[in-house]
């Protein structure tokens, strides 16, 4: 994309944003001998990843696990020296629950069990048999996830499978998310195989031949003291190349490369770099004072929708939770009319998350479904969560531990029309040599996606520096 060579001779790269994307890119670039400065606006690295141990509980307020879908994720963990601290989730936690009729119902683990499940009506099960015969949509039509699923699978699949799944991944709404940008693999299954079901079967065989792992099969990874172990370790490896409390405010492209201005409490400081990687959230990139001869503006990125999500982490005495908590967690479809989006059975997923005789549950509230609920004060968040947990899981007694964290702008929604943002990012890179963008707003929203984005953009930057030095 960035094809024009830079006359700047010393390969120095500035990165804005020390979330997992910026940290991965900085780590990989330094390994390759590139001079990096990583600027972070906040007082800590890690972005939305926050693991806190208190009162014997280990709470994850942001993401809970990484799906190890790629060798690039495993090699980052290995190269950071973290293999001895890596933990895979308990295989017993593969079980997943969906709420139907106000009860948690186990998702069938095999196609055979699927026909016996009470989760879907006979009509919905039979509807699956029709799916391979439904014609594919024209490739150039952009549908919402809801339109796509209604067309191929019908209302019950939308309400009881896709709606809760989207709440669990995006805290989003299927009627607004784009299947093209939010779930490109789903659309590809239809376009390539003419059917989601046939595509799943054939795609699994092809993945096996390529040595890849699907998200459904991938192992879930964390560390002995939570995910923050990874970001803390990457941050520590950078030493003084990581600048905290250093928000990038202005970028000026000149003949030598890029002048990067940081506006901290102590005043403004500027430094010169051959290339710049923007890995801060899109709404922050929209605020940058970007000065480039091409007259670029990232202001339109402010229209990317980031709903608020509150994480409500609660500890209970084991005897106060009658449910076996034998699984990953439960998702709540909107049609069930509860306040919460879903709950992770955190102490079943990984060991040492709760003191002996206690369990830890992590519940998400808000998202596109009910943004106003995420903004409630902590006492109300805890009360509405406990109320739902009492009804669904039969929880008794009061929490023995509680901690809520609000992500005011949590996860970008790849809604219908997201292509205009992607096109703007492509255009910015093409018109401003040495400018790169990567992160959850461009390359997929999961942690795994962000690690791959950091890895891949580091490769692109190295390639560009190599070309510009020899040019
Ligand atoms: C509540 C929640 C739960 C999640 N659960 C999961 C999960 O279980 N599994 C999963 O795979 N994914 C999950 N995700 C998604 C995943 O965590 C994120 O997509 C990913 O961590 C994003 O990383 P990032 O580096 O792209 O961005 P961020 O983590 O947002 O980092 C961006 C950084 O840029 C900094 N910054 C902002 N402005 C500037 C500036 N001007 N200059 C310099 N720095 C700046 C910010 O302070 C921040 O540190 C979850 C997300 C949330 C919010």
Q: Is 284 within a domain?
A: yes
* Domain final residue, candidates 161, 178, 210: 210
pLDDT confidence of residue 1: 39
Q: What is the rounded average pLDDT for all residues in the chain?
A: 93
Answer yes or no: are the C-beta atoms of 468 and 37 closer than 8 Å. Answer: no
User: CB of 454 closer than 6 A to ligand 1?
Assistant: no
Q: Is 332 within a domain?
A: yes
Q: Are residues 383 and 299 in the same domain?
A: no
What CATH number is associated with residue 465?
3.50.50.60
Answer yes or no: are the C-beta atoms of 118 and 105 closer than 8 Å. Answer: yes
Q: Are residues 244 and 324 in the same domain?
A: no
Domain membership of residue 283 as a residue range: 12-47+229-304+413-470
Which band of pLDDT confidence, cut at 50, 70 and 90, is reported for residue 211? low
User: CB of 282 closer than 6 A to ligand 1?
Assistant: no
User: CB of 284 closer than 6 A to ligand 1?
Assistant: yes
Count: domains in the chain:
3
Q: Are residues 435 and 460 in the same domain?
A: yes
Q: Which residues pair with 257 in a beta bridge?
A: 254
At 92-111, the pLDDT tens digits run 888 999 999 999 999 887 77
Q: Are residues 356 and 275 in the same domain?
A: no
Helix locations, 394-437, DSSP H: 419-431
Q: Give dist(CA 390, CA 60) in Å, integer.
A: 22
Q: Are residues 299 and 310 in the same domain?
A: no
Q: In angstroms, what is the span from residue 409 Cα to ligand 1's centroid?
A: 10
Helix locations, 286-397, DSSP H: 346-349, 371-374, 378-393
Q: Is 218 within a domain?
A: no
pLDDT confidence of residue 3: 37
Q: Is 439 within a domain?
A: yes
Q: Give dist(CA 397, CA 417) in Å, integer.
A: 47
At 181-201, the pLDDT tens digits run 999 988 888 898 888 888 888
Which residue, 462, 442, 448, 463, is CA-closest to 75?
448
Q: Are residues 255 and 276 in the same domain?
A: yes
Q: Are residues 313 and 400 in the same domain?
A: yes
Q: What is the SS3 assignment for 113-157?
A: HHCCCCCCCHHHHHHHHHHHHCCCCCCCCCCEHHHHHHHHCCHHH
Lowest mean pLDDT among 4-8, 52-56, 72-76, 185-189: 4-8
- What is residue 137's three-state secondary structure? coil
Compute how many other C-beta atoms are within 10 angstroms of the C-beta atom of residue 33.
8
Residue 226 reports pLDDT greater than 50: yes
Answer yes or no: are the C-beta atoms of 170 and 440 closer than 8 Å. Answer: no
Q: Are residues 295 and 149 in the same domain?
A: no
Which residue, 416, 42, 99, is CA-closest to 231?
42
Q: Give dist(CA 374, CA 390) in Å, integer.
A: 20
What CATH number is associated with residue 194?
1.10.3110.10
What CATH number is associated with residue 343?
3.90.660.20
Residue 6 reports pLDDT greater than 50: no
* Domain final residue, candidates 407, 431, 452: 407
Q: Are residues 86 and 136 in the same domain?
A: no
Q: In angstroms, what is the span from residue 36 Cα to ligand 1's centroid?
A: 20
Q: Are residues 80 and 136 in the same domain?
A: no
Q: Residue 171 gets which letter from DSSP?
A: S
Rounded average pLDDT over 62-74:
94
At 304-336, the pLDDT tens digits run 999 999 999 999 999 999 999 999 999 999 999
Q: Are residues 123 and 255 in the same domain?
A: no
* Domain final residue, candidates 146, 177, 210: 210
- Higher pLDDT among residues 330 and 204, named by residue: 330
User: CB of 281 closer than 6 A to ligand 1?
Assistant: yes
At 249-287, the pLDDT tens digits run 999 999 889 999 999 888 999 999 999 999 999 999 999
Angle, CA of 191, 193 and 196, to the nearest 5°: 85
Q: Which residues pair with 276 in a beta bridge?
A: 14, 435
Q: How many residues does this entry show for the chain?
A: 471
Helices (H) and strands (E) in the chain, counts: 17, 21
Q: Are residues 140 and 191 in the same domain?
A: yes
Q: Is 121 within a domain?
A: yes
User: CB of 167 closer than 6 A to ligand 1?
Assistant: no
Q: Is 6 within a domain?
A: no
């Amino acid at each position: 994309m960035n094809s024009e060579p830079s006359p700047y001779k010393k390969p120095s790269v500035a990165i804005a944003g020390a979330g997992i994307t910026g940290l991965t890119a900085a780590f990989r670039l330094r390994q390759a001998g590139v001079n990096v400065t990583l600027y972070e606006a906040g007082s800590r690295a890690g972005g939305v990843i926050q693991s806190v141990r208190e009162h014997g509980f280990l709470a994850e307020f942001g993401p809970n696990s990484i799906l190890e879908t790629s060798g690039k994720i495993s090699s980052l963990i290995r190269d950071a020296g973290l293999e001895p601290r890596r933990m895979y989730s308990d295989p017993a936690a593969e079980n997943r629950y969906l709420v139907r009729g106000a009860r948690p119902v186990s998702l069938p683990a095999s196609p055979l069990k699927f026909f016996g499940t009470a989760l879907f009506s006979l009509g919905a099960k039979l509807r699956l048999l029709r799916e391979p015969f439904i014609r594919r949509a024209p490739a150039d039509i952009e549908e919402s996830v809801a339109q796509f699923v209604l067309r191929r699978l019908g209302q019950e699949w939308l309400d009881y499978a896709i709606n809760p799944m989207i709440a669990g991944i995006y805290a989003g709404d299927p009627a607004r998310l784009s299947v093209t940008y939010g779930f490109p693999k789903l659309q590809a299954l239809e376009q390539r195989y003419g059917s989601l079901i046939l595509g799943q079967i054939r795609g699994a065989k092809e993945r096996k031949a390529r040595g890849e792992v699907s998200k459904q099969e991938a192992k879930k990874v964390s560390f002995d003291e939570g995910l923050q172990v990874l970001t803390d370790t990457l941050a520590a490896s950078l030493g003084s190349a990581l600048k905290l409390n250093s928000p990038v405010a202005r970028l000026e492209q000149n003949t030598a490369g890029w002048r990067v201005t940081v506006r901290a409490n102590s005043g403004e400081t500027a430094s010169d770099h051959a290339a710049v990687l923007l890995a801060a959230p899109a709404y922050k990139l929209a605020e940058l004072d970007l000065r480039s001869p091409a007259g670029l503006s990232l202001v339109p990125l402010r229209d990317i929708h980031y709903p608020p999500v509150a994480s409500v982490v609660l500890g209970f005495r084991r005897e106060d939770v009658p449910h076996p908590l034998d699984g990953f967690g439960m998702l709540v479809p909107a049609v069930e009319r509860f306040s919460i989006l879903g709950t992770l059975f955190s102490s079943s997923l990984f060991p040492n998350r709760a003191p002996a005789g206690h369990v830890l549950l992590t519940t998400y509230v808000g998202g596109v479904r009910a943004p106003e609920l995420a903004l409630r004060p902590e006492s109300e968040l805890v009360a509405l969560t406990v109320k739902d947990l009492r009804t669904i899981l039969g929880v008794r007694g009061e929490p023995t531990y509680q901690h809520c964290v609000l992500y005011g702008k949590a996860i970008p929604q790849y809604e219908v029309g997201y292509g205009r943002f992607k096109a703007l990012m492509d255009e910015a890179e093409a018109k401003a040599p040495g400018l790169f963008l990567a992160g959850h707003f461009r390359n997929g929203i999961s942690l795994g996606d962000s690690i791959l984005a950091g890895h891949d953009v580091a490769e692109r930057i190295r390639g560009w520096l190599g070309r510009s030095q020899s040019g």
